[in-house]
Chains A and B, each alone.
Chain A
Amino acid sequence: MITALRLRSVGVRRGERLLFDGLDLDLGGGDAVALVGPNGSGKTSLLRVVAGFIAPLCGAVTFEDGKGPVEPAEARRADCHMVGHQDGLKAGRTAREELRFWSLWTGSDGRGVAAAAERLGVERILDLEVRQLSAGQRRRVALARLIAAPRSLWLLDEALAPLDAACRALFGEIMTGHLQAGGLILAAAHDPLPTPARRLELGA
């Protein structure tokens, strides 16, 4: 289980533009960091660097568990959840099939899936095809796998944007519970996160 994420003087370039340079960040168990900054300041890019999709221009991203450093590829494959702009749900399949597949794929044993759907309030729409769901409902299904498959590092990229106020508050409780259990959250957000979090300004 990942207990710490460390970024040391990380710089990221997209195309010709240097988004940021010399970025340091320490995230320990129970920490949440909200990435804030104007559009195009590199919030998504930073999350994708941590997820391993983008190679940073310079600097290092390291993961640690209780015993010491973990191989980054291993940490990402085994202990990292990402909710991005797209939900990763196939339009022609039912929400149940998709939630179940992604939960199993990210390491659930399949038993927590029903409880996770109930927690996010999507159990009644599970038998609908994804194409019939609203953006908010789809996001709820996508978020349900965070509970169904326990992984410690959550990377959230504007994950709460399509949600209504009640669901934001609900997911705030879920995030708080995850942090209390020793989880880590790195979230890009324009609105304040519904859980206590440090702010990291990009593009300032």
Chain B
Amino acid sequence: MTTAGLLFRRELALAWGGGGGPLMALAFLAAVTAALPLTAGPSPAGLAGVAGGATFVSLALSSLLSLDRLFERDLEDGSLELLALGPLPLEGVAAVKCAAQWTATGAPLALAAPIAAVALGAPILAAPIIAAVSALGGLAFAFVGGAGAAVALASRRGGVLIAVIVLPLLIPPMIFGGAAIWAFTEKLPWTTSFALLAAYSLAALGLAPFAMAAACKNALS
């Protein structure tokens, strides 16, 4: 087995094993879905209008929940030092950690998001595009969020800082993803927004590992 695969399996086991990560994110999505009709009024037409967008926003926010554990635990228990002395450069370590984070929370959320949206009244035909947008956007959330988590390592109250750093960076993918879902349900051209979302996710995939590695090195020194 390659060293990247070895690390990926460990990170996945850690994310699932704690019980926190994926279940907490799914519970958050379920809670928002259940609370929205109570606060926004039960009119089906009103709910159906915001179903896709509201689901996507709560998906973005729920992917923030387990970010503070991504690097902080490893720094506290000494794992980060040992990972740095391993065969993979820190850029690779960071990328694998984010990929595992996406597999553990992003993928289950992408499967749950269409259910939540349809429950709120989104047309059932929109379910595939909601799943696709959620999966693709989830990649951006995981990698950009990972960069925020790594930068926040240097501070004491990391959890709050992560949200402050990451939320502005999550606005573009939220706009592109929300626009793609909305355009699809309105039967308008949606591919441009979808392509922009894909471009953002790819950029995050390519750039965030370097930021994370630099931030981790800074935290270790």
* A104 B221 Cβ-Cβ under 8 A: no
Q: Which B residues contact A (CB, under 8 angstroms)? A: 1, 3, 6-7, 10, 13-14, 17-18, 73, 76-79, 81-87, 89, 217, 220-221
> Which residues of the other chain, B, contact A82 by a CB distance below 8 angstroms?
81-82, 85
A86 interfacial by beta-carbon distance below 8 Å: yes
Q: Once bound together, how far apart are the Cα atoms of A102 and B220, in whole Å? A: 19
Q: Interface residue count for A (Cβ, 8 Å)?
A: 29
Q: Provided the pairs A101-B6, A106-B85 are in contact, do residues A54 and B221 lie with their beta carbons within 8 angstroms?
A: yes
Query: Which residues from B are CB-within-8-Å of A43?
Result: none
| Minimal beta-carbon separation of B1 from chain A (angstroms) | 8
Interface centre among B6, B17, B78, B217 (most CB of A within 10 A): B78
Identify the A interface with B (CB < 8 A).
48, 51-55, 76-78, 80-82, 84-93, 97, 101-102, 104-107
Per the bound structure, the CA–CA distance linking A52 and B221 in Å amounts to 9
Which residues from A are CB-within-8-Å of B85? 51, 76-77, 80-82, 106
> Contact at A105–B17, with CB atoms within 8 Å?
no
Q: A86-B77, A90-B77 in contact; A105/B82 too (CB < 8 A)?
A: yes
**Contact call B86/A106, Cβ cutoff below 8 A:** yes
Name the residue among B1, B82, B86, B89 with the largest chain A CB count within 10 angstroms. B82
**How would you classify the secondary structure of chain A's contact residues: helix, strand, loop or mixed?**
loop
Choose from A80, A81, A87, A91 the contact partner of B78 (Cβ within 8 Å). Answer: A87
- Provide the main secondary structure of the chain B interface: helix
- In the complex, which residues of chain A have a beta carbon less than 8 angstroms from the beta carbon of B3? 104-105
Tell me the complex Cα distance, A192–B82, Å.
26
Supplied contacts A51-B85, A104-B3, A105-B7, 13 more A-B pairs, CB within 8 Å:
A53-B81, A76-B85, A80-B85, A82-B85, A87-B78, A88-B78, A90-B79, A92-B18, A93-B14, A105-B86, A105-B87, A106-B86, A107-B87
Contact A86 B17, beta carbon cutoff 8 Å: no
B6 touches A105 (CB 8 A): yes
* Contact in complex: B76, A93 (CB < 8 Å): no
**Cβ B79 vs Cβ A53 within 8 A:** no
Contact B77 A77 (CB under 8 A): no
Which residues does chain B contribute within 8 Å of A84, judged by CB atoms?
A: 78, 81
Contacts of B14 in A (CB 8 A): 90, 92-93
Check B79–A88 contact: CB distance below 8 A: yes
CB-based nearest A residue for B84: A53
Decide: B221 and A88 in contact? CB cutoff 8 A: no
Minimum Cβ distance to chain B for residue A71 (Å): 12
Report the minimum CB–CB distance from B84 to chain A (whole Å).
7
User: Which residues from chain A contact B10 at a C-beta distance below 8 Å?
Assistant: 101
> Which residues from chain B contact A81 at a C-beta distance below 8 Å?
85
Report the minimal beta-carbon distance from A118 to chain B, rounded to whole angstroms.
22
A72 CA to B13 CA in the complex, in Å? 32
Shortest Cβ distance from A77 into B: residue: B87
Which A residue's beta carbon lies closest to that of B219?
A53
22 contacts between A and B (CB under 8 A): A48-B220, A52-B84, A53-B217, A78-B87, A81-B85, A82-B82, A84-B78, A85-B78, A87-B77, A87-B78, A88-B77, A88-B79, A88-B82, A89-B77, A90-B77, A91-B77, A93-B13, A102-B82, A104-B1, A105-B6, A105-B83, A105-B87
In the complex, which residues of chain B have a beta carbon less than 8 angstroms from the beta carbon of A55? 221
Q: Which residues of chain B are near A76, meaning CB under 8 Å?
A: 85
How many Å lie between the Cα of A84 and that of B220 in the bound state?
Answer: 12
Q: Do A53 and B77 touch (CB < 8 A)?
A: no
Residue of A nearest to B221 (CB): A54
In Å, the complex CA distance between A51 and B81 comes to: 9
